[in-house]
Amino acid sequence: MLSKKKWMLAFALVILFVMLDKFEKNDVLSTDYATSLLAPQKPSEVYRKVMEWINPSDDLVSVSAPVTNPPLIEYKSIQPFEKGAILAIDETQELYASEDGLIIFTGYTKKTGKTLSILYDTGETATFGFVEDFYQLPYTTINAGDIFASVESKVLYIQVEKEGELLETSDLVEWLTASNE
């Protein structure tokens, strides 16, 4: 029953966006919401705008913080690779989310094998490659501390995009350290 309500809501939103787009094109409305929401090249901006509509920043009140925050990943060494870095790991590990976010991709790529990308609420996009198992489906939300994947091989690829720029290897070390705190 709940899934039927979700489909009806999704259908209503699609109709709303199509009507909004037509009204804007015919100059009935002087907004640019449809243009910015329907632009497929910027999913992180659309996500940020939707989150701003749903949770206005001045209305948020922090009630409590997590008691423990497990480490994102434990690794021996880090080396630059492609647009990110390769982490050498000892044993099978589960990957934990460092912040709340949305999984935007799970799939297979030629260079990094099984790959998963997360768009965090902070605006950062983290991509993890050479993953063994996915524990979450694409387009699902995750909370800080949730397990989203596991790594069984000896390496893990990681790439982080922050404010439109890819982090260098030294910045990735800091990002991983900040995630562990």
**In the prediction, which pLDDT does 101 show?**
93
- Do residue 39 and residue 98 come from a single domain? no
What is the domain range of residue 169?
Answer: 77-180
As a whole number of angstroms, the distance between CA 159 and CA 157 comes to 7
In a domain, 69, yes or no: no
The count of structural domains within the chain is 2
Report how far residue 86's alpha carbon sits from residue 80's, in angstroms, rounded to the nearest whole number: 6
pLDDT in tens, 103-147: 999 999 998 999 999 999 999 999 999 999 888 888 999 998 888
CA distance 37 to 26: 17
pLDDT score recorded for residue 158: 93
- Residue 70, in any domain of the structure: no
Q: Tokens in use for 44?
A: 């992180």
Stretch 162-166: mean pLDDT: 90
Task: Answer whether 34's CB lies under 8 Å from 20's CB.
Answer: yes
In a shared domain, residues 90 and 166: yes
- The verdict on 104 and 34 lying in the same domain is no
Residues in Cβ contact with 80 at an 8 Å cutoff, skipping those fewer than 6 apart: 86, 168, 169
* 68 falls within a domain: no
The CATH number linked to 102 is: 2.70.70.10
- pTM here is 0.60
Comparing 51 with 138, the larger pLDDT belongs to 138
Residue 41's pLDDT is 56
Indicate the residue type of 61.
V
Residue reference for tokens 């996915």: 134
Q: Is residue 97 domain-shared with residue 162, that is, in the same domain?
A: yes
Does residue 83 contact residue 178 with C-beta atoms inside 8 Å?
Answer: no
